[in-house]
Structure formats: C-alpha cells, structure tokens
Amino acid sequence: MYAMREAQLDFTWGRHEATRGRRHYNECLIDATLLPNTSTYDFIIVGGGTAGCPLAATLSQHFKVLVLESGGNNQDYPQTATQDGFPQIVTDASSGVANSPAQSFTSLDGVGNIRGRVLGGGSSVNCGFYSRAQPAFFEAGAAAGIVWDMGLVNASYEWVEKKVVHRPELDSWQTAIGGALLEANVRPFNGFSVEHLEGTKISGTTFGPDGRRHSAAELLGYAKLTNLVVALRATVEKILLDFHPGGLKKPFAKGVMYRDSLERPHYAFLRGQGEVILSAGALGSPHLLLLSGIGPPNLLHPWHIPLAVSHPFVGQFLADNPQAGVAIISPFRLPTYLSKVVGISNSSSFYIEASTKNTPHHPQISAASPSLNHTIAELFEKVAGPVSTGSLWLASADVQDNPVVRFNYFASPVDMGRCIEGMRTMAKVLKSPKLEGFKFPGALGGMEFRYVGPEMVRDEEDDLQLEGLCWQSLSTFWHYHGGCLVGKVVDSKYRVIGVDSLRVVDGSTFAVSPGTNPQATVMMLGRYVGYQLTKEKWMPNRFAAGKKR
C-alpha cells in the first residue's frame, strides 16, 4: 500500500509539471499592497529565496501556498542577470544604494558582507557556482538525527539541475588555474561534474550559455500556479503564536503579520493542519524567531519583547567560511568571469577557486598598465567547515534593522591550519608555468605578478607568513550558516522544538557549509522537505478520504 501511494504521488507531480510549461511563474507574483488585510493558506513561507522557491513550487502541487518576500522581482534588476553585474551588486549594497537587490552588513569581526533582498534570494546575487554537498555534510546531519533518504536527496538535486544548472565554458584565466592546480598536485582531474569530488574539476553554473542567470526563482516554474501567491515587498514582522487552553500543550503558530511597502499591516493565517515555514536565511530566520519571542530570554528582555518560548540556542552556532587569497592585474583584458573551476583538497579542508572582474578607474591598474586594461584576476580559498562559530542577537525590535552578528573567524586553530594549507597550495599554483602569461616584466629583469592588495608570501613553508596573509586577506565567501541548528533549535524534520506548526527550512539549519558552494544544497533542501511534507500531510488525507467514499 505504501509503495502504491508513493507511486500515486510521483505520478501526480509528473502530470502537473508536464502541463505547466505554457505559463510563466510571473503570473503568481503580486505586490503586497494589492493583497487583502487578512487571508488564509495551507502553508505560509517566509522568504522567496534559495530554499523558499523550490519549497513553494513543491507544496503548491496540493496545497494553497503564500510566499512572503521582502524584496522585489529579480527580473527588475538588470545587474542580477549576468556575471558582469556581480561587482555592481556588491558595490551598490556596500554603498547603501537604495533599492538594491542585496543589503550590506558588517559583522563585529569587521568583515563586510551582503544578504540577498530579492526574489531568488542569494541565488539571484551570487557567483552562480553550483556543486553538491560533500559526504561529511550528510554525516553531520545524520549525527544530529536526520534520517536522510539519499535517493530523494539525489532526485531533488536532479530536479533543481534540470531547471537552472549548465555546463560552463572557461576563459584563459580559469583554464590556466585548472592546469596550475593539477601541477600543484590537486589531483585527479575530474572533468565537468556537479558532484563533490576531491581533486580539480569544472563545476556547474547557474549562468546559461547565453550568459543569463537562472536563479532559484525559476524553480517556481514547476509550481501549480493556481495554488501559489508570491507577495513581493512583504516584510514579515512577527510570527503569530497561540496557546491551547490551560497551557498543557505546546504553543502553535497560527500565522504571520507582515507589512507592505506602504507600511500597512496584513495578517496571513493558517487553515487546517497548515504550517508557517521560515526560509529567510541564516540571518533572517533566527532574527524573526527572536522578534516573535522565541529565543534566549536575556536577548529579548532589553527590547521588551514578551517571551513566548525560551529557546537558548536561537541565533547561536552561527558561522561564516573565511575567504583568503590574492589578486593580480592581468596584462590583457578579460571578461568578468566568476568561479567555474575548483580545486578540492584531498581532505576537503579547503577549496581553491578563481575569478576575473573588470574594475574601471582602479588607481593601481591605471599605474601598472595602459588605461584599456582594467581586469583583476583573483585566486582565493574557502576554508571548509568552519569549526569556529559565533552568534546573532537583536540590534533593536525593528525587523528592518540588521541583527548584530559575530562570526569569530579563526577562533579555532583548526580553521587557521586549514587556511595555511590552502595558502601553501595557492603559492604552488602561482609558481606554475601555466600562469607565466599573466606576469609583467620585472624592474630587475624577469617576469612577475602585479598584485592588488596583499602579495603572496615568498616562502610557502613559513607558517607565520602564511597565517599573516590569511588575516590580511580575510573576507567572506557569503556562505554564512547556522543560527537554527538541527538538534538545537529544530528537530530532525526541521520543526521548531517546543512550537507546533512552525518549521525552518534554509541554511540556518546547517552545522557545516555544504561543499564548495551551498546554493545547490539549499535548493535541494527546499524540494526535499516539500516532498516529505506532501507525503506527510496530503497522502494520508487523500487516502482517508478515499476510504470514506
């Protein structure tokens, strides 16, 4: 009987998805100002980002779903569409440009960062790199109690990849770096693959052959559009909680309160056995829990937020993978080309990538070469894990204010050890003959790189020099995660512990960053949990209704 019901579910999804190609997901997008003051749905998803879009598309097959996205439509921002726009996204966010698709924040560590504020979330403003998680990611989840269905995991990845993932072409810098990684013994060469494979490989990209980005928003193309409403510029301020008479049972979520761009309040409520699902990201989800009175009492009291559920780990175990590396001036112009090749160490403790970007009017470039050359070529590493963690707490009781964040980079010597090993490998990469064509004539003869910012150390065996370079070049990979960990804040099915009808499905539940880039796994998770929720809630009800008939 179970197998039959599984087959029914798969057949139904296949039929819906096969007949939906004639319509565009834009049909379900609506500005929040046009929504009623109150409405009712089976599922309310907070965040139309990397996890929220695949989750909504999946649940919409059998349920009425509302997605509340605080940003606008990614299609309204030309800079999100191509690789050339990526530097502008980062610059605009850091400069505080109004109506940017990303919002900047600086952690107490002093490192600048950004968060997506647009449909598609981080997948609409990132580098487009696509690669599945390492085995250790699933092992960490299993240790926290998750019983992974790896068949469903792989099927969910494939569902994502059919819609948004492409095989990239390489420019001369990426090609040279790939060869240099092999010469530095980052082996074997694995060719093109979306799998996490030790050695050097060409990974997937969400930029298509025409150069256009395909973000998680396009996964809404799988949706049953008549069941889905995606509200844009809808800022959720609070989860609405209720309590059973007598207080003998756990409190439960009954809906949310959100405001539109005109600051008018709206209320969305659940019906039946519906749920509120937070997919607002590693900052947004714990932030909203705290604003709703779910968290450590000492973090709520200063802002006079009534305690609904004492939850000591909300906002804790927050982590960000350090990025460190060097940048050189290219002696010839290259197109802006984001990461496509990666070197994965044989211990998967660090990942090395490369990119190019064109930066007009950079003083170092203008002084070093003719004015037509404005290309910076970068070589950088991502420290895996990391082991070091920090926390998040409220800056005010206003949801518009970014929370205060500390990541505690390199607090663990394990992370610094990994960074040093990655730097040592990068030093060997830069000595490869494959990169001779990117050097300039030196002042004393010979050829040398022209660095922008910190230079690679002369002696790659000197750990102190390498450690210094790790600190000098420290920045973010934009892969922050944690804050609502499985086993701490949510259970193995992503339900908030101590609260009914409330889940968190996004990167805030990750104890480690999945592989070289998390977006593949975040999108997979949205599909994965949506599938499991449909089995849990729709199939039993359908089967019971059939028996009554």
The residues, any chain, with a CB within 8 Å of residue 398's CB and separated by 6 or more, are: none
Q: Distance between CA atoms of 412 and 423, rounded to whole angstroms?
A: 17
CA distances from 311 to 211, 276, 307 (A): 45, 18, 10
Cα 179 from chain centre: 29
CA distances from 15 to 229, 305, 530 (A): 21, 47, 17
Cα separation of the two ends of the chain: 18
Whether 479 is catalytic: yes
Q: Distance between CA atoms of 408 and 426, rounded to whole angstroms?
A: 24
Q: Sign of the CA dihedral 90, 484, 221, 266?
A: negative
Q: Please report, for the chain, how many H helices and E strands are present, in that order.
A: 12, 26
Strands (E), 34-99: 38-46, 65-69
Q: Distance between CA atoms of 434 and 179, rounded to whole angstroms?
A: 6
Q: Give me the count of residues in the chain.
A: 549
Q: Distance between CA atoms of 346 and 206, rounded to whole angstroms?
A: 26
Contact of 20 with 250, CB cutoff 8 Å: no
Amino acid identity of residue 244, one-letter, is: H
Residue from 196, 287, 374, 479 carrying the catalytic annotation: 479
Amino acid identity of residue 418, one-letter, is: R
Q: Is the peptide bond before 188 cis (omega within 30 degrees of 0)?
A: yes
Query: What are 375's strand-pairing partners?
Result: 358
Q: Distance between CA atoms of 273 and 544, rounded to whole angstroms?
A: 15
Active-site residue set: 479
